[in-house]
Amino acid sequence: MAAKPAKATAPFRLLEATIEDIHSAFESGRLTARELVRRYLDRIEANDKKGPALNAIITLNSMALEEADRLDKAFKSNGLTGSLHGIPVVLKDQCDARGMPTTLGSVLFEDYYPDRDCFVVERLKKAGAVVLGKATLGELGGGDTHGSLFGSTRNPYDLERTVGGSSGGSAASVAANFSTVAVGQEGMASIRRPSTWNSIVGMRPTAGLVSRGGVYAGWPDIHGSLGPMARTVRDLARLLDVMAGYDPEDPLTARGVGHIPESYTDYLDNDGLRGARIGVLREPIGIASEPDSEDFKNVTEVFDRAVGELKTAGAEVVDPIVIPNLKEALAKRAGRPGGGKEAFQVYFGRSKNPPFKTLEEAMRSPKFERVNKRSRDRWLFPSNAMRHYEYLTARDALMTSILKVMADHRLDAIAHKAVEHQPTLINQVPYQDTKGVAHLNTYLVFVPSIVVPAGFTRDHLPAGICFLGRPYDDGTMIRLAYSYEQATLHRRPPAI
């Protein structure tokens, strides 16, 4: 008679724990959801406002332990309640979660408590996740992670530098093991840049896959998309499975119908790069990038190694590819006139007690002068209709041009530097919070882009490689990213 396998007795290790690790610990009896939440809260207590003082969290969920107790009780009766059972999640603080304020990192909204969860939070809770807290962000949802409500968030790999933005607190929380996964939002490079600078995986899915219902800066604007952030591609795929779906409150998600697979984890393939054709975009496309600087060259050195690693993993690399008139097109980016006002109305219109009825009323608040200047300027200077028309024309032409380049070279994806410069020093004034930012994916809107750690520069700062694909080919980007991650395993936690 075969002996029964011994029950696992090794203590649970919190640092770098994955969803799979946590669920295995639940099932073996080594861990409860309450113990897990408590340990993350202890790490936050020791490292966010004390110790290295990362300053990545704005609000903690006062009900997190109570929610964990409920999940532990359900687990005793029926096992895991969902794919994210007991998994602590941190949200960028422009996503609504009942019981917690949505501050946008600003003194303007420090007392705003929404009365409903956003669509994505509803799905997270249904899957068994525990919302642990709200993370810092670029004030009013954009720019680097500085805000009148909290100050500046510090990079766990170099406390004198920024975390990037605008989803910087989400990235720092994952990097420093304050949570298992996080939700970010990207309208320019707001997921991929902080993910790069914090050595984690981040994805801005194709617009229309994930709802912005109950999220500031959503419909009728189309550039901003929520996306998953995690320490591993597998955890990112599991989080995206829960987040993606149609929501009538965000009409843009109608475009995603029919494009969501049964599970993005089906694309996880160690040999996913073997035989894949990857075009390497060498042309500098980052905002205000300085190709002759040592800082730029440090990132290039990491990227060159990453291209070699693609080849070693079996990819067929086309290096370089040239996209005609690329920088000229990117320079034409412009917002839709009146889009910010309409999105403001839609977002606060879902609340019974909005803090302000209009954008103009918010700007008349005495607190508005305390908002950081870059954030104020986004509200004060509206877009120009002719510039927006020129952008739309250029965007359509560039989309066709890129798809033609991919077709001519039979490419599965385009690889480029995630950010072309190292993390900015916090004391740099003015904050160069878009320096080196590559925003090709959000310029085009309807393409997926994922960043994976590619190692560290000579200055011991994280750098990443970005995979960009055809519209709604998100699964392929996950396959390529996973294969690269498994072949290199560049992610390592910060010294803190």
Q: What are the catalytic residues?
A: 92, 166, 190
Length of the chain: 496
Report how far residue 132's alpha carbon sits from residue 440's, in angstroms, rounded to the nearest whole number: 32
Q: How far apart are CA 315 and CA 410, in angstroms?
A: 13
DSSP state of 425: B
Please state whether the peptide bond connecting residue 261 to the residue before it is cis, i.e. omega within 30 degrees of 0: no
> CB–CB of 192/443 below 8 Å?
no
Closest CA to 142 of 454, 415, 397, 371: 371
- Rounded CA-CA distance 486/475 in Å is 16
Which residue in 239, 200, 303, 129 sits closest to 474, CA to CA?
239
SS3 call for 202: strand
Query: What are the structure tokens assigned to 354, written together?
Result: 């909005």
Radius of gyration, alpha carbons of the chain: 21
Which whole-number Å values give the CA distances from 477 to 197, 311, 440, 467, 469, in the listed order?
20, 17, 15, 6, 7
Q: Which H or E run contains 140?
A: none
Q: With contact defined as beta carbons under 8 Å apart, do 335 and 187 qualify?
A: no
Exposed/middle/buried for 162, CB within 10 Å: 0-12, 13-18, 19+? buried
DSSP string covering 454-483 = EEE-TTS-EEEEEEE-STT-HHHHHHHHHH
Question: 317 has which bridge partners?
Answer: 278
Q: Give me 6's structure tokens.
A: 């011994």
Q: What are phi and psi of 91, to 5 degrees?
A: -110, 140
**In degrees to the nearest 10, what's the CA dihedral of 144, 148, 153, 154?**
100
Q: Are 41 and 35 in contact (CB under 8 A)?
A: no
State how beta strands 201-204 and 449-456 pair. Answer: antiparallel
How far apart are the C-alpha atoms of 210 and 125, rounded to whole Å? Answer: 16
| φ and ψ of 143, to 5 deg | 85, -175
Which tokens belong to 359? 């954008």
